[in-house]
Structures are given as structure tokens and as C-alpha cells.
Amino acid sequence: MKNTIIIILLLINSTQLFGQQHYIIEGRTNPELDRKPVMLFTFKQNKIDRLDTTYISNGIFRFEGDTNLEELSILTSGNYPDTVRTVDLVLESGTIQVNLDTVSFISGTPLNDKWQHFQTCSNAKAELIKKIEAAKLANQSSVEYEMELGKLKNENPDMITFTKNNISNVLGKELFRKYCLYMLYEEFFEIYALADPQLKTEPLITQALNQYQRRKAEHEQLNKNTIVGTQYKDFSLLTIDGKETKLSDYIGKSNYILIDFWASWCGPCIAEIPNIKRVYDKYKDKGLEVISISIDQQKKPWIDALGKIDQNWIQLLCPKADIKSLQDAYNFRGIPFLILINKKGIIENINLRGDFLDQLMQITIR
């Protein structure tokens, strides 16, 4: 009987400890903040679960404890109107290094290293977007910034990809909660399918699910008039040297033609070009041709942009008088707009961007 009780107590104790993470936070900050408090907030279901406080000494502070990996925690020091230093972090097993400043830095454990890298890349993208907007306001070229932004996007996961890849841990779950109402419905359903049952039942996720189900139904109704499955429409276009050519001059000469409708003034278009180039270089020897069709209303900005952007495929310009007809024929207004046409001239896919473009090529061109 005594042994049975001991076993039961051990099982209860192990159940209580399951999932517990013993963490140590070793922090550094400005020594001028000595004797100031540093507060560590932990959360459960978006509510403060616990608040721990320590004090800075010689620019150093330390926390140690146990917690479950449920939500991101917040480390902060200072109060408005004074400078507030804060950082989000994961309280996971190990020693977490924190440099607490106006721009903070975390490292030392796997999830925190991953979180820091993602935030660093996100901040770099945001800075480039600011530079692009400032250049445009000043009527200056933003092509270099846009190319750099495109390269950064191609080499590092965006928020959706990062969330999808981390949906089984606290990072992906937190981002899903934060942005679930602000995604494309395709993105939401892709991540939702990977989420665990508990996350799926949270009120905010359920609200988002209902929202996207309605949006998907509306979109499918509108898409009854989609151009997918229809024959391409022929147009007269201009080459770089001003000669007239037609789309029909190219259709049927390659297994597939990827058409990129773009313009020199379109930042997202230019940011997408490195991705198109990567796909073109990968599949050009397997029967893929790429044609970029600009809807610039003047030739000079188009020519100037081509001189700065590496696009080693066919470049054509739609005459100003035909731009609206072209947009109506291919049912688009926003750019970039990419479509895939097969050798018979049938439009097989539309709205091809980012990782989806390469994924589609892997399936289509073997």
C-alpha cells in the first residue's frame, strides 16, 4: 500500500512538472540605470500570469525560474515619458542572453536565436521600405533599395512562412494569434491546417476562421469569371528598340511562358524580380520562357529601369492606348500580375508570386 502511494505521488509530481522549462536570463544594460527595476511579464491566454522584478546593478540583471512554453514573455525597464527599454523573448530551457536597450538583442537558446534573426530581418525590410517611400517622395530612383528588399525577402522567410514553419512552437502560435485577422484566406487556411487542436479552438482563431470562410465563398463566386482555362488574348507590343511585335510571336515556341505584367514605378513589381529570375534560371533549359510586359505610360522610365535591373529575358512595352484593353483582357488591375500560359496558348495559372511560383514550377515543369 505504501509503495502504491509513493508511485501515485511520483506520477502526480511528474505530471505537474511536464512541460516546465528552467530558464536563466543574464541581462546587460546601461550602467546609468543602476538600481532601476527590470520587470519580467509572463502571460497566459493574453493575460498577465506573473510579474517578476529585479534591479540593475553595474549594468547587469538576472532572472531565474520555471515556466511553461505557452506565450512570449516581455522584459521591460523604464516608464513613459522616460525611455522605455523592452524586448519579447521565449522563456525556454537554458541561459538567455539579453542586451536591453532602445534596440534590444536576445540570444543563447534555439527559439530566441530564431526569434532575434526574424526580427532583425523584419526591421531591415521596414527600413528599406521607408527609404523607398522617401526616395519616391523626393522624385529619386528607388530601384537599388527595391532590389535589396527583394533580395532580403528571397533569402529570409516572410511572416507567413515563418509562422507556418513554427506553428508547433510558441513563436508561430504568437504570430498566428497576432496576424490571423490580417492574412489572405489562402495563407490562413494553410497555417490553420497545421495548428494544434487547442490553438484552433481559441476565440480569436475561431473568429478568423469564420471570417475567411465567408471571404473564400465570396471570392469563389467572383472567380467564376476567371481567365484560367481560357485562350490567351493577342496584343501588339513594343520591343526595347521600338519595333512592333505580337504576343502570338512567342506563344507555342516554348513549353510554358510566364508573363509578368509590371511597371517601373511599382515597388512590389521590382521586389518580385529576383524571385522571377531565380525561377527563370532554374527552368529556362526545361522549356520555360519569361516575358515581362510593362504598363508604363512612357517609354523612358521603362528603359531607365531596365538599365538598372537584371532581367535576362524578353522585355516588352504595352502602348499607352492599349493598357486598359490589356488589363480588361487579362482581368487585372493590381501589379505585379503573373500568369502561366502553356504551349497551346491556354492560361493555366494566375497570381503567381513568391514561393508559390517556384512550387508550381516544380510540379509543372519536370
Transcribe 78-143 into DSSP letters: --TTS--EEEEE---SEEEEEE-SSS-EEESSHHHHHHHHHHHHHHHHHHHHHHHHHHHHTT---H
Average pLDDT of span 62-80: 87
Give the span between the Cα atoms of 33 and 55, in whole angstroms. 9
- The pTM of the full predicted model, rounded to 2 decimals, is 0.61
Most confident of 52-61, 153-162, 279-288: 52-61
Q: Does residue 215 contact residue 302 with C-beta atoms inside 8 Å?
A: no
Q: Reduce the DSSP state of residue 346 to 3 states and report it.
A: strand
Residues 200-227 have pLDDT tens digits of: 999 999 999 999 898 888 766 655 567 8
Burial 103-124 (b: 16+ CB within 10 A, else e): ebebebbebbebbbebbebeee
Is the pLDDT higher at 263 or at 135? 263
Residues 102-113 have pLDDT tens digits of: 889 999 999 999
Residue listed under C-alpha cell 535591373: 309
Domains of the chain with CATH codes:
19-108 (2.60.40), 112-224 (no CATH), 236-364 (3.40.30.10)
Residues 132-184 have pLDDT tens digits of: 888 877 888 888 888 888 888 878 888 999 999 999 999 999 999 999 998 88
Q: Which three cell numbers stand for residue 207?
A: 473568429
Is the pLDDT higher at 250 or at 153? 250
Element (H, E) at 23: strand 20-28
Phi/psi zone of residue 256: left (φ > 0), alpha (ψ -120 to 50 degrees), beta?
Answer: beta
Average pLDDT of span 319-333: 90
Is the pLDDT higher at 135 or at 188? 188
